[in-house]
Amino acid sequence: MTPILFYGVPEGCSFGSIVALEWTGAPYRLCRIEMPSVVSSDVYRPVNPIGETPSLMLPDGRVMSESMAILNHIAARTVNKGWGFDPKSEKFDRLNQMLAFLNTGFFNAFGPLWHTVEHELEPQAKQALRAYGIAKVEKAHAHLEKLLAGRDWLLGDEKSLADAYFVGIARWNDFHQVVDRQQFPSLNALYERLQQDPAVRFAWAIEHQEEVQTTGQFLGHVSLEEALGSLKQAA
Ligand SMILES: N[C@@H](CCC(=O)N[C@@H](CS)C(=O)NCC(=O)O)C(=O)O
Protein backbone atom coordinates (compact mmCIF):
# COMPACT_ATOMS: atom_id res chain seq x y z
CA MET A 1 0.00 0.00 0.00
CA THR A 2 1.17 3.54 -0.74
CA PRO A 3 1.46 5.85 2.31
CA ILE A 4 -1.54 8.11 2.86
CA LEU A 5 -1.19 11.56 4.40
CA PHE A 6 -4.33 12.83 6.15
CA TYR A 7 -4.18 16.60 5.72
CA GLY A 8 -6.43 19.19 7.34
CA VAL A 9 -8.21 22.09 5.68
CA PRO A 10 -8.45 24.99 5.87
CA GLU A 11 -4.97 26.26 6.77
CA GLY A 12 -3.66 22.98 8.23
CA CYS A 13 -0.12 22.60 9.53
CA SER A 14 -0.10 19.42 7.41
CA PHE A 15 0.80 21.77 4.53
CA GLY A 16 4.48 21.22 5.42
CA SER A 17 4.13 17.44 5.24
CA ILE A 18 2.60 17.71 1.76
CA VAL A 19 5.53 19.89 0.64
CA ALA A 20 7.98 17.40 2.21
CA LEU A 21 6.39 14.46 0.39
CA GLU A 22 6.59 16.36 -2.91
CA TRP A 23 10.23 17.37 -2.38
CA THR A 24 11.43 13.94 -1.38
CA GLY A 25 9.70 12.20 -4.27
CA ALA A 26 8.36 9.04 -2.62
CA PRO A 27 4.94 7.82 -3.87
CA TYR A 28 2.04 8.90 -1.65
CA ARG A 29 -1.67 9.52 -1.61
CA LEU A 30 -3.71 12.12 0.24
CA CYS A 31 -6.87 12.02 2.31
CA ARG A 32 -8.60 15.37 2.79
CA ILE A 33 -9.96 16.07 6.27
CA GLU A 34 -12.23 19.05 6.88
CA MET A 35 -11.60 20.90 10.14
CA PRO A 36 -13.24 21.06 12.59
CA SER A 37 -16.14 18.89 11.38
CA VAL A 38 -14.46 15.67 10.21
CA VAL A 39 -11.24 15.96 12.22
CA SER A 40 -13.18 15.89 15.48
CA SER A 41 -15.68 13.23 14.37
CA ASP A 42 -15.91 9.63 15.59
CA VAL A 43 -15.22 8.45 12.03
CA TYR A 44 -11.73 9.99 12.03
CA ARG A 45 -10.87 8.84 15.58
CA PRO A 46 -9.31 5.50 14.54
CA VAL A 47 -6.80 7.51 12.50
CA ASN A 48 -6.03 10.13 15.13
CA PRO A 49 -7.59 9.65 18.58
CA ILE A 50 -7.03 13.29 19.59
CA GLY A 51 -8.69 14.67 16.46
CA GLU A 52 -5.77 16.33 14.73
CA THR A 53 -4.05 16.40 11.37
CA PRO A 54 -1.58 15.48 9.98
CA SER A 55 -1.45 11.72 10.29
CA LEU A 56 0.42 9.38 8.01
CA MET A 57 -0.72 5.85 7.21
CA LEU A 58 2.26 3.67 6.42
CA PRO A 59 2.37 0.83 3.88
CA ASP A 60 1.74 -1.75 6.63
CA GLY A 61 -1.42 0.06 7.79
CA ARG A 62 0.13 1.60 10.90
CA VAL A 63 -0.72 5.24 11.45
CA MET A 64 1.64 7.82 12.89
CA SER A 65 0.83 11.36 14.00
CA GLU A 66 2.65 14.56 14.98
CA SER A 67 4.29 16.71 12.32
CA MET A 68 7.78 16.32 13.77
CA ALA A 69 7.53 12.53 13.76
CA ILE A 70 6.09 12.50 10.24
CA LEU A 71 8.76 14.86 8.88
CA ASN A 72 11.52 12.87 10.58
CA HIS A 73 10.04 9.65 9.17
CA ILE A 74 10.06 11.13 5.64
CA ALA A 75 13.60 12.48 6.12
CA ALA A 76 14.94 9.17 7.42
CA ARG A 77 13.78 7.42 4.26
CA THR A 78 15.47 9.89 1.95
CA VAL A 79 18.94 10.13 3.44
CA ASN A 80 20.36 9.03 0.10
CA LYS A 81 18.66 12.02 -1.55
CA GLY A 82 20.02 14.49 1.00
CA TRP A 83 16.78 15.18 2.90
CA GLY A 84 17.63 13.11 5.95
CA PHE A 85 20.90 12.85 7.87
CA ASP A 86 22.95 10.34 9.82
CA PRO A 87 21.55 10.44 13.40
CA LYS A 88 25.06 11.06 14.72
CA SER A 89 25.73 14.01 12.42
CA GLU A 90 25.60 17.72 13.16
CA LYS A 91 23.09 18.20 10.34
CA PHE A 92 20.73 15.72 11.99
CA ASP A 93 20.89 17.68 15.26
CA ARG A 94 20.35 20.98 13.48
CA LEU A 95 17.34 19.74 11.53
CA ASN A 96 15.83 18.28 14.69
CA GLN A 97 16.42 21.44 16.69
CA MET A 98 14.92 23.62 13.98
CA LEU A 99 11.87 21.38 13.59
CA ALA A 100 11.41 21.39 17.35
CA PHE A 101 11.45 25.18 17.52
CA LEU A 102 9.02 25.47 14.61
CA ASN A 103 6.71 22.86 16.12
CA THR A 104 6.70 24.46 19.57
CA GLY A 105 7.80 28.13 19.62
CA PHE A 106 6.53 29.11 16.17
CA PHE A 107 3.40 26.93 15.98
CA ASN A 108 2.32 27.64 19.55
CA ALA A 109 2.76 31.39 19.14
CA PHE A 110 -0.34 31.33 16.95
CA GLY A 111 -2.34 29.28 19.48
CA PRO A 112 -3.95 32.24 21.30
CA LEU A 113 -4.86 33.81 17.94
CA TRP A 114 -6.53 30.62 16.70
CA HIS A 115 -8.41 30.49 19.99
CA THR A 116 -9.87 33.94 19.39
CA VAL A 117 -11.30 32.95 16.00
CA GLU A 118 -12.48 29.48 16.97
CA HIS A 119 -14.28 30.31 20.22
CA GLU A 120 -16.93 32.74 21.45
CA LEU A 121 -15.20 35.11 23.86
CA GLU A 122 -15.97 38.24 25.83
CA PRO A 123 -14.37 41.25 24.07
CA GLN A 124 -11.91 41.80 26.92
CA ALA A 125 -10.78 38.17 26.91
CA LYS A 126 -10.43 38.27 23.16
CA GLN A 127 -8.33 41.41 23.31
CA ALA A 128 -6.06 39.96 25.99
CA LEU A 129 -5.55 36.72 24.09
CA ARG A 130 -4.86 38.56 20.85
CA ALA A 131 -2.28 40.78 22.54
CA TYR A 132 -0.63 37.69 24.03
CA GLY A 133 -0.60 35.97 20.63
CA ILE A 134 0.83 39.01 18.87
CA ALA A 135 3.69 39.24 21.37
CA LYS A 136 4.47 35.55 20.91
CA VAL A 137 4.34 35.72 17.11
CA GLU A 138 6.61 38.79 17.11
CA LYS A 139 9.09 37.04 19.39
CA ALA A 140 9.13 33.88 17.24
CA HIS A 141 9.64 35.97 14.07
CA ALA A 142 12.52 37.84 15.71
CA HIS A 143 14.15 34.56 16.75
CA LEU A 144 13.86 33.08 13.26
CA GLU A 145 15.21 36.29 11.74
CA LYS A 146 18.27 36.04 13.97
CA LEU A 147 18.79 32.38 13.08
CA LEU A 148 18.43 33.12 9.38
CA ALA A 149 20.85 36.05 9.22
CA GLY A 150 23.02 35.58 6.16
CA ARG A 151 21.41 32.27 5.18
CA ASP A 152 19.07 31.43 2.34
CA TRP A 153 17.40 28.51 4.13
CA LEU A 154 16.73 27.65 7.74
CA LEU A 155 19.64 25.23 7.94
CA GLY A 156 22.03 27.23 5.80
CA ASP A 157 22.78 26.94 2.10
CA GLU A 158 20.48 24.02 1.40
CA LYS A 159 16.73 23.68 1.50
CA SER A 160 15.55 21.22 4.18
CA LEU A 161 12.31 19.79 5.51
CA ALA A 162 12.39 22.56 8.14
CA ASP A 163 11.66 25.04 5.32
CA ALA A 164 8.71 22.89 4.24
CA TYR A 165 7.22 22.98 7.72
CA PHE A 166 8.07 26.67 8.19
CA VAL A 167 6.09 27.81 5.16
CA GLY A 168 2.91 26.08 6.30
CA ILE A 169 3.02 27.85 9.66
CA ALA A 170 4.39 31.23 8.53
CA ARG A 171 1.34 31.85 6.32
CA TRP A 172 -0.81 31.99 9.48
CA ASN A 173 0.65 35.45 9.96
CA ASP A 174 -1.34 36.58 6.92
CA PHE A 175 -4.50 34.91 8.18
CA HIS A 176 -4.25 36.63 11.57
CA GLN A 177 -2.68 39.88 10.31
CA VAL A 178 -0.03 39.99 13.04
CA VAL A 179 3.38 41.31 12.01
CA ASP A 180 4.59 43.12 8.92
CA ARG A 181 6.77 40.31 7.59
CA GLN A 182 8.95 42.82 5.74
CA GLN A 183 10.32 43.94 9.10
CA PHE A 184 12.06 40.57 9.20
CA PRO A 185 13.95 40.74 5.88
CA SER A 186 15.64 37.33 5.92
CA LEU A 187 12.47 35.58 7.03
CA ASN A 188 10.47 37.50 4.45
CA ALA A 189 12.93 36.57 1.69
CA LEU A 190 12.68 32.90 2.66
CA TYR A 191 8.90 33.06 2.72
CA GLU A 192 8.74 34.75 -0.69
CA ARG A 193 11.27 32.30 -2.19
CA LEU A 194 9.16 29.41 -0.97
CA GLN A 195 6.03 30.88 -2.57
CA GLN A 196 7.70 30.25 -5.96
CA ASP A 197 8.49 26.62 -5.14
CA PRO A 198 6.46 24.14 -7.24
CA ALA A 199 5.78 21.92 -4.22
CA VAL A 200 4.48 24.86 -2.20
CA ARG A 201 2.25 25.86 -5.09
CA PHE A 202 1.11 22.25 -5.33
CA ALA A 203 0.20 22.09 -1.62
CA TRP A 204 -1.73 25.35 -1.94
CA ALA A 205 -3.62 24.04 -5.00
CA ILE A 206 -4.43 20.80 -3.14
CA GLU A 207 -5.86 22.75 -0.20
CA HIS A 208 -7.89 24.98 -2.52
CA GLN A 209 -9.01 22.09 -4.73
CA GLU A 210 -7.47 23.58 -7.82
CA GLU A 211 -5.78 21.76 -10.68
CA VAL A 212 -2.49 20.31 -9.46
CA GLN A 213 0.78 19.40 -11.06
CA THR A 214 2.93 17.10 -8.96
CA THR A 215 6.68 17.36 -9.16
CA GLY A 216 6.88 14.37 -6.82
CA GLN A 217 4.90 11.15 -6.93
CA PHE A 218 1.41 12.12 -5.81
CA LEU A 219 -0.88 9.26 -6.78
CA GLY A 220 -4.23 10.87 -6.03
CA HIS A 221 -6.75 11.25 -3.24
CA VAL A 222 -8.48 8.51 -1.29
CA SER A 223 -11.67 8.96 0.71
CA LEU A 224 -11.59 8.57 4.49
CA GLU A 225 -13.77 5.46 4.13
CA GLU A 226 -11.28 3.86 1.75
CA ALA A 227 -8.35 4.75 3.98
CA LEU A 228 -10.14 3.31 7.02
CA GLY A 229 -10.53 0.07 5.09
CA SER A 230 -6.75 -0.21 4.79
CA LEU A 231 -6.39 0.59 8.50
CA LYS A 232 -8.77 -2.21 9.43
CA GLN A 233 -7.14 -4.72 7.09
CA ALA A 234 -3.82 -4.10 8.77
CA ALA A 235 -5.24 -4.32 12.29
N1 LIG B 1 1.27 18.56 17.67
C2 LIG B 1 0.52 18.33 16.49
C3 LIG B 1 -0.52 19.44 16.35
C4 LIG B 1 -1.46 19.15 15.23
C5 LIG B 1 -2.58 20.17 15.18
O6 LIG B 1 -2.81 20.98 16.11
N7 LIG B 1 -3.29 20.13 14.06
C8 LIG B 1 -4.39 21.05 13.87
C9 LIG B 1 -4.32 21.69 12.50
S10 LIG B 1 -2.85 22.64 12.33
C11 LIG B 1 -5.70 20.30 13.94
O12 LIG B 1 -5.81 19.23 13.40
N13 LIG B 1 -6.70 20.89 14.63
C14 LIG B 1 -7.99 20.31 14.76
C15 LIG B 1 -9.09 21.32 14.61
O16 LIG B 1 -8.81 22.44 14.18
O17 LIG B 1 -10.23 20.99 14.89
C18 LIG B 1 1.45 18.33 15.26
O19 LIG B 1 2.45 19.03 15.32
O20 LIG B 1 1.19 17.62 14.29
* Separation CA 95–CA 80 (nearest Å): 16
pLDDT at res. 202: 98
Atom of ligand 1 nearest to the CA of 54: 20
Residues of the domain holding 188 = 90-195
- Whether 107 and 37 share a structural domain: no
Q: Which residues line ligand 1 (CB under 6 A)?
A: 8, 12-13, 35-36, 39-40, 51-54, 66-67, 103
- Whether 143 and 206 share a structural domain: no
**188 backbone dihedrals φ, ψ, rounded to 5°:** -60, -40
Residue 127, SS3 per DSSP: helix
- Whether 116 and 191 share a structural domain: yes
- What's the CATH code of the domain at 74? 3.40.30.10
Atom of ligand 1 nearest to the CA of 11: 10
- Amino acid identity of residue 32, one-letter, is R
Atom of ligand 1 nearest to the CA of 70: 20
* Separation CA 124–CA 24 (nearest Å): 46
- Whether 95 and 189 share a structural domain: yes
pLDDT tens column, 21-36: 999 999 999 999 999 9
pLDDT at res. 173: 98
* Under 8 Å between Cβ of 133 and 108: no
pLDDT at res. 150: 83
Please list the ranges in the chain whose pLDDT falls under 50. none
186 exposure class (CB count in 10 Å sphere: 0-12, 13-18, 19+): middle
- Whether 190 and 204 share a structural domain: no
- What's the CATH code of the domain at 143? 1.20.1050.10
- Whether 223 and 170 share a structural domain: no
- Whether 188 and 142 share a structural domain: yes
Q: Say how many Å lie between the CA of residue 51 and the centre of ligand 1.
A: 8
- Whether 191 and 217 share a structural domain: no
- Whether 147 and 216 share a structural domain: no
The gap from C-alpha 224 to its chain's centroid, in whole angstroms, comes to: 20
pTM, two decimal places:
0.97
Looking at the structure of the chain, the number of domains it has is 2
- Whether 127 and 213 share a structural domain: no
